């Protein structure tokens, strides 16, 4: 397989695996795979509702570690300027997802597939802001 073909197949395979995983969580356990909701649910401790959340998050982190070990060059060019800046960015993203009533995984992956009007509107907003941000960063101007 050529490098070009692998570059096309890897994201496709990743998307299929994400789709299977969120469908299984919903069909087998009745939960939506929205990361912000899963994390927020840990704060509102309810007996019997913590284990699956912790396992889900451990799987996300473990998947990242496995990807780093299996394909370390996939992470070339990624830099983190500072841990405090990373923590601030994460906090702002978390705040934004609470204000929006969900995150890209909950709205974009799970909500859109269920044809939720709220999720479709939220995903269109995420994507529009992302496109505007990329345009501004690449062209050095502000809207």
Taking only the tens place, the pLDDT of each residue in 81-132 is 777 888 888 888 878 887 877 787 888 888 888 888 998 998 898 889 889 9
What is the chain's length?
143
Could you tell me the pTM of the whole model? Answer: 0.70
Domain-by-domain residue ranges, the chain? 3-139
DSSP secondary structure of 82-135: -HHHHHHHHHHHHHHHHHHTS-IIIIIIIIHHTT-HHHHHHHHHHHHHHHHHHH
Residue 90 contacts by C-beta under 8 Å, 6 or more apart in sequence? none
How far apart are alpha carbons 105 and 26 in whole angstroms? 13
**CA gap 99, 93 in Å, rounded:** 10
């Amino acid at each position: 397989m050529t490098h070009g073909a692998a570059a096309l197949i890897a994201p496709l395979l990743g998307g299929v695996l994400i789709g299977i995983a969120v469908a299984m969580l919903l069909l087998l356990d009745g939960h939506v795979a929205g990361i912000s909701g899963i994390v927020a649910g840990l704060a509102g401790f309810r007996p019997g509702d913590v284990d699956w959340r912790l396992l889900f998050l451990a799987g996300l982190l473990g998947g990242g570690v496995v990807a780093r070990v299996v394909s370390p060059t996939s992470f070339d060019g990624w830099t983190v300027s500072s841990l405090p800046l990373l923590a601030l960015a994460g906090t702002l993203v978390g705040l934004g997802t609470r204000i929006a009533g969900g995150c890209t995984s909950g709205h974009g992956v799970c909500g859109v597939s269920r044809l939720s009007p709220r999720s479709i509107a939220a995903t269109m907003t995420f994507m529009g802001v992302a496109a505007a941000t990329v345009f501004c960063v690449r062209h050095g101007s502000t809207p």
